[in-house]
Amino acid sequence: MDIIQSGEIGERLRDVRARMEEACGRAGRDMREVTLIAVSKTHPAEAVLQAYAAGQTLFGENRVQELREKVPAVQALLQDTGQGASLSWHLIGTLQTNKVRYLPKLEGLSMIHSVDSEKLAVEIERQYEAAGCSVDVLLEVNMAHEETKKGLAPEEVRGLLEAIAPLSHLRVKGLMTIAPLTEEAESNRVYFRDLAGLMRDLNRAALLPAPMTELSMGMSGDYGVAIEEGATYVRVGTAIFGAR
């Protein structure tokens, strides 16, 4: 694993933020409309601390087990260095129903990006109700219809929203997609544009107590295009932490 030194992580973060600002400028958007998630999966707690020192406070992990190990490890490092700040965490990877029970206990976990079935949503509701708290979620949509990826087909999203709208311990804030891996970021524009259009259509149907506002789309290779098409969260790992 390529572990980048603290100074380099800071430089990479500055470069990513500059590129985000450029994309916002091209789209006529305010930079404050887009939030960077630094995806720290497989990288050690020390790398997270280095990114935090460079001003990053929101991190994403793909696996529940890694979150369970990394969150307390990072908090311990913060305490050791005399910093009492708490970080925010998003679970951005596939979530199995038998792992949901661990999530309400994780300090700082504020959003789940990968809800793709009624069964999973009901289990999240059950576990968070038992814990006396609630959580924000996004519905994962497989916009490219890739057989190797999880997520709802676009035409399935409305049915799931209707089914889970009565649940009170999870709040559906928007949609997420993972676009195909490609060296040509422009080729993914259609998926980002269509996800934004899908959210607009669903909001017009008024299926939820409040309109959805969040679009999680775009990664290291295509986050600029995603921002141009309306992303409110971009999930960037390699461009910040280096190769896994």
Q: Per-residue pLDDT tens for 146-196?
A: 998 999 999 999 999 999 999 999 999 999 999 999 989 999 999 999 999
Among all chains, which residue has been given the structure tokens 């290291």? Answer: 220
Tokens of 147: 């057989």
The residue ranges of DSSP E strands in 4-94, in sequence order, are 35-39, 58-61, 88-91
Please provide the average confidence, as pLDDT, over all residues in the chain: 94
- Its pTM stands at 0.94
Q: Per-residue pLDDT tens for 22-79?
A: 999 999 999 999 999 999 999 999 999 999 999 999 999 999 999 999 999 999 988 8
Q: Which amino acid is at 108?
A: G
**Which residues, listed in sequence order, are joined to residue 90 by a DSSP beta bridge?**
60, 111
Q: Per-residue pLDDT tens for 201-223?
A: 999 999 999 999 999 999 999 99
Distance of alpha carbon 217 from alpha carbon 118, whole angstroms:
22
Give the β-pairing of 58-61 and 233-236. unpaired
Q: Per-residue pLDDT tens for 85-107?
A: 779 999 999 999 999 999 999 99
pLDDT at position 3: 44
Q: Which domains does the chain have, with CATH numbers?
A: 6-241 (3.20.20.10)
Element (H, E) at 185: none
